[in-house]
Every structure is written in structure tokens, then in C-alpha cells.
Amino acid sequence: MSGPPCQPIDVSKSKHVYSHKNVSAQRSTQCKEAQNLHQRMLLKLISSIRFLASQGMPLRGHLASLDSNLYKLLLLRAKDCPEMKTWIYRKECTSPEIVNEILALMDSNS
């Protein structure tokens, strides 16, 4: 049984060639990128809380968090920073407990 002769394959042009980075290095890079993103978003949250507090404006609304001044300000800031919108919807970052803790830390540092 003879078939077509085997031809060598040039894998150097393949998209699936292994890179020189190992899996742990790639995960480490992804973790660092995620940490940097969360740090930037947290700083935006803190500066937004600081702004509203300095203006004497309430942070939370009467009906729900969607009605709050903080939520509206963060949505406005998300127009300049698209990844913030996704971060805002992860409600654990803007929970009343976290916002109150940030306010308490601001108060203790002033």
C-alpha cells in the first residue's frame, strides 16, 4: 500500500507554535494586567467618592444603587474609560460596605 509521499511541514509559520514563555509566566502576566486594571478602577472609584464627598453630595440614592450619584458619576467616567463599565457592574466593588470603608479611610487620613 503506497500513498503519497510525506512532505515536511513548515511549522515556523503556524499560529500554534509554542512561544518561549511557559504557562506560569503567561498566567503571571495576565494576573499583573488584571491587578493593574483593578488598581486603576479602584483609584477612579476613590477619586469619585472623594469628589462627591467634598461637594457634600450623597453617594447613594433613595431607590436603588442605579439611582445613586456615585453610580451616575462612575457611568459618566466610563465614557472615557470603557473597561470601567464592566468593572462597575461587578457590584462587589461598589458595595455600600466598600464605599463606607473608603469613606472611613479618607476621614482617618484627613
| pLDDT interval class at 13 (50, 70, 90) | low
3-state secondary structure string across the chain = CCCCCCCCCCHHHCCCCCCCCCHHHHHHHHHHHHHHHHHHHHHHHHHHHHHHHHCCCCCCCCCCHHHCHHHHHHHHHHCCCCHHHHHHHCHHHHCHHHHHHHHHHHHHHC
Per-residue pLDDT for 62 more than 70? no
Residue 88's pLDDT is what?
84
Residue 51's pLDDT is what?
95
Percent residues over pLDDT 70 in the chain: 74
| pLDDT interval class at 79 (50, 70, 90) | very high
CA–CA distance, 36 with 76 (Å, rounded to integer): 21
Average pLDDT over every residue of 75-104: 86
